Amino acid sequence: MHIIEKRNDNITPIVTKRGDNRIFSFGSILRKTNLDELPQVINVLRGEMSLVGPRPYPVDECKYWNNTFDDFYYRYMVKPGITGYAQVSGYRGGTLDEEHMRRRLDKDLVYIEKQSLLLDFKIIYKTVRQMVSFRTNAH
């Protein structure tokens, strides 16, 4: 179950942040290299996910963002992916605040509108390049 916290009568999802004490050092290395995403390949093979698409969020976080942004539900038009346009555009990691999430959502919506095999190949290439250079914006 995803943990949420209550702030001033608003329920806000708790997301990972830089220096989050819930992530141990080896886990941090896995996140920075994107190796923490490899088990999701099983979901791709089962047909539940794609290699490329908007990243999935925990159910509680989806509820929160569905109530925050009128266009958040468009993300459900395509299968979620292991990597996505938002991630290779610098929006990987926790959803730090509403403005950050808005920019991430905008990238997801651009992908949904313009998705193509060529765009998927570009995103996969950029993902691999970020993994090799350790520039994944993960924390």
**Domain ranges, residue 24:** 4-133
> Is position 53 within any domain?
yes
Question: For residue range 12-23, what is the model confidence (pLDDT) as tens digits?
Answer: 665 656 666 666
- Residue 54 is classified by DSSP as P
Q: Is residue 73 part of a domain?
A: yes
Full-model pTM: 0.74
- In total, how many domains does the chain have? 1
| pLDDT at residue 110 is higher than 90 | yes
35 lies in some domain: yes
For the chain, the average pLDDT equals 81
On whether residue 70 sits in a domain, the answer given is yes
For residue 85, give the nearest of 100, 104, 70 by alpha carbon. Answer: 104
Residue 78: inside a domain, yes or no?
yes
What is the dihedral sign for C-alpha 14, 44, 92, 21?
positive
Tell me the CB-side half-sphere exposure of residue 56, using CA atoms within 13 A.
Answer: 15
Q: Which range (62-71, 80-89, 105-114, 130-139) has the least confidence?
A: 130-139
| Token reading at 109 | 């919506």
pLDDT at 139 over 70: no
Distance CA 104, CA 89 (A): 9
13 neighbors 61 (Cβ within 8 angstroms): yes
Helix (H) or strand (E) holding 50: strand 50-52
